[in-house]
A and B are shown apart, each in its own frame.
Chain A
Amino acid sequence: MRDLAASRRALAEAERAMDQEIARSMWLAKAADYAVNDAAVLVGGAAVNLHTGSYRPTDIDLCAYLDPEDREAMSEVGFHNTQGDHFSYTFADGETWLLKSTDTQVDGDVAIVVLGEQDSLTVISRDSVVVDRLIQASDNTKITFDDAVRLGVALGDTIDWARVEAEIEVRHSLEPGLGLPRVLRRVRQAVDSSL
Chain B
Amino acid sequence: MNRVGFRLRQFRQLLRMSLTDVNESTGISRAQISLIENGKADPRMSTVMRLLHCYGRGLADLEPSPPERLHLEDAIRDAHRASARLTASALGPSDPRSRLDRKEQLGQDVRDERAALATRR
Contact = CB atoms under 8 A, between A and B. Distances in A.
B63 interface: no
A51 to B, nearest CB: 7
A113 B71 CA distance: 6
A169 B14 CA distance: 9
Given A98-B112, A114-B69, A155-B82, A166 B14 contact: yes
B112 to A, nearest CB: 6
B91 A149 contact: yes
B98 interface: yes
**Majority-rule SS of B interface residues:** helix
B79 A22 contact: yes
A12 interface: no
A96 B116 contact: yes
Interface string B58-82: 0000001101111110011011101
A22 B75 contact: yes
Given A54-B94, A59-B113, A97-B116, A166 B13 contact: yes
B82 A22 contact: no
A98 B86 CA distance: 26
Interface of A: 19-23, 26, 48-59, 82, 86, 88, 90, 94-98, 109-116, 120, 122, 125, 141, 143-144, 146-147, 149-150, 153-156, 158, 162, 166-167, 169-170, 173-174, 194-195
Interface of B: 6, 9-10, 13-14, 38, 64-65, 67-72, 75-76, 78-80, 82-83, 85-86, 89-94, 96, 98-100, 102, 110, 112-113, 115-117, 119-121
